[in-house]
Structure 1
Amino acid sequence: MLVLGFPVGPLQANCYVLARGEGEPCVVVDPGQDAVAPLDEQLRKHRLAPAAVLLTHGHFDHVLSAGEVCAAHDVPAYVHPADRFMLDDPGAALGPAGRQLFGDGPVMDAPADVRDLADGDVLELAGLRFDVTHTPGHTGGSVLFGVGTDEGGQLLLSGDTLFAGAIGRTDLPGGDHGQMLESLSTKVLPLDDEIVVLPGHGPTTTIGRERAGNPFLQGLPASDAIS
């Protein structure tokens, strides 16, 4: 399995490309601000053809290039309906301070074909299976994407729900700290320690490492199973 990740834009959001191997169809996850050029470079280098764009949530640093990528390759974008409005108005979740920083907000063309994600969905794309888990907190429509590797391992594309040593902020419009704690307790902590986490910002980690050392997870009760 081929997994590529690279930070894009001023906020250094991680964009990921997953495929069964070189020369295969692929899935692009979170093509954010200024993602087109580095993404095209990876697609050419590994001879990959996008089959879909997956969005962990609607914040502009994760979605701003989605429309351009979808149009260039004639593929759909998948996002939770609670965050879909941000594809039409990327500045909607910036809050007053962000509006002052960015003026009217960043501008993007929304993908022509946008498909809804729901908790428990299973997406079969580019020969890969993506399990969708809704984790509101950072935004109302934040999701995790779980995917198995050919070697038997498990990956978790966590967006801005979980980082190495941190969690996503909850003080922007649509954020809810109580929901975030509930999502972490019921959707993240029950996961196996060996799962490799590919976060929306920063370095790769594992569930076990975060369970042991992430200060935001300490003291949270873990459900016996994902609800």
Structure 2
Amino acid sequence: MRLLRLELGEIGTNCYLLADAAAEETVVIDPAGDFPILWQAVKGLGYPVKYILNTHGHWDHIGANAELQQKTGAPLMIHAADAPLLQQGTDRMFRVRYQPSRADRTLSDGDELPFGAYKLRVLHTPGHTPGGVCFVLSGKAGNELIFSGDTLFQLSIGRTDLPGGSYDDLIHSIRTKLLPLDEKLPVFPGHGPHTFLADEKQYNPFLR
């Protein structure tokens, strides 16, 4: 399995591309924007896109949703609680516009998405947004890594001062959904560098 990280959009959001050569499939997580750059990366991998996944519905994570849907025909998936955000086309607080998109399927906690020899399990982690999710990639050997969106960052957590945010919900989500997982797992967030659960348990000031 190959993993690519692209920093896309106006504030450098992490977009992740997963490619399984044996299955000849690609998954795109959070197509944040800069579609020409994203599309070149997708073409470079050389495999059809099986899923387009959003960790949540904020503008900086969904900017290239519509173009990628149109280009690939792949289903776009997001948690039901955040699905309405895709269709707004504007974020008044940040004064930005984006091309509206529509979810082909809404996700729920515990859903599993098969991907070649792997699967992506959905963890509903509200707090940053009501419909925020994390994706846990697992293979034959068990869990391998976590895509945490804006739930958990290196030594930080997602904002909770935006509409629909809740600090208490976010801390509860992290403590009940992420921290019980194997602490050796790497965590790939929506912004900034990757980290490890063990480091966040020990050093993250919000989790002490």
TM-score higher than 0.5: yes
- Partners of 2:67 and 2:129 in 1: CA distance: 23
Pick closer, same or farther for the CA change 1:149–1:202 going to 2, 3 Å: farther
Per the TM alignment, residue 212 of structure 1 is displaced from its structure 2 partner at its CA by 1.1
Structure 2 gap ranges (5+): none
Match of 1:38 in 2: 37
Is 1:162 matched up with 2:152? yes
Is 1:146 matched up with 2:136? yes
Pick closer, same or farther for the CA change 1:65–1:177 going to 2, 3 Å: same
Amino acid at match of 2:81: A
Is 1:174 matched up with 2:164? yes
Pick closer, same or farther for the CA change 1:148–1:184 going to 2, 3 Å: same
- Partners of 2:186 and 2:28 in 1: CA distance: 18
Residue by residue, what CA displacement relative to the aligned partner does 1:50-69 show, whole Å, maximum 9, x if unpaired? 11101100001101111110
Match of 1:3 in 2: 3
Match of 2:203 in 1: 213
Match of 2:98 in 1: 107
Q: Greater strand share, 1 or 2?
A: 2
Per the TM alignment, residue 44 of structure 1 is displaced from its structure 2 partner at its CA by 2.4
Per the TM alignment, residue 158 of structure 1 is displaced from its structure 2 partner at its CA by 0.3
- Partners of 1:191 and 1:32 in 2: CA distance: 27
* Number of corresponding residues: 208
Match of 2:191 in 1: 201
- Partners of 1:19 and 1:132 in 2: CA distance: 18
- Partners of 2:173 and 2:55 in 1: CA distance: 14
- Runs of 4+ more than 4 Å apart: 149-153
Asked if structure 2 preserves the Cα contact closer than 8 Å seen for 1:156 and 1:196, the reply is yes
Amino acid at match of 1:160: D
Pick closer, same or farther for the CA change 1:14–1:201 going to 2, 3 Å: same
Match of 1:28 in 2: 28
Query: TM-score, structure 2 length as denominator?
Result: 0.93
Match of 2:66 in 1: 67
Amino acid at match of 1:9: G
Amino acid at match of 2:178: V
Residue 216 of structure 1 aligns to a residue whose secondary structure is helix
Residue by residue, what CA displacement relative to the aligned partner does 1:191-225 show, whole Å, maximum 9, x if unpaired? 1111110100000111011111111111xxxxxxx
Match of 1:223 in 2: none
Per the TM alignment, residue 90 of structure 1 is displaced from its structure 2 partner at its CA by 4.3
Per the TM alignment, residue 48 of structure 1 is displaced from its structure 2 partner at its CA by 2.3
Residue 207 of structure 2 aligns to a residue whose secondary structure is coil
Residue 137 of structure 1 aligns to a residue whose secondary structure is coil
Match of 1:130 in 2: 120
Is 1:184 matched up with 2:174? yes
Pick closer, same or farther for the CA change 1:150–1:17 going to 2, 3 Å: farther
Per the TM alignment, residue 151 of structure 1 is displaced from its structure 2 partner at its CA by 6.9
Residue by residue, what CA displacement relative to the aligned partner does 1:65-106 show, whole Å, maximum 9, x if unpaired? 1111011001111100100011001435x5xxx2xx41xx41
The percent of aligned pairs where both chains have the same amino acid is 38
Tell me the C-alpha RMSD between the 2 structures: 1.8
- Partners of 1:21 and 1:162 in 2: CA distance: 29
Per the TM alignment, residue 5 of structure 1 is displaced from its structure 2 partner at its CA by 0.7
Is 1:18 matched up with 2:8? no
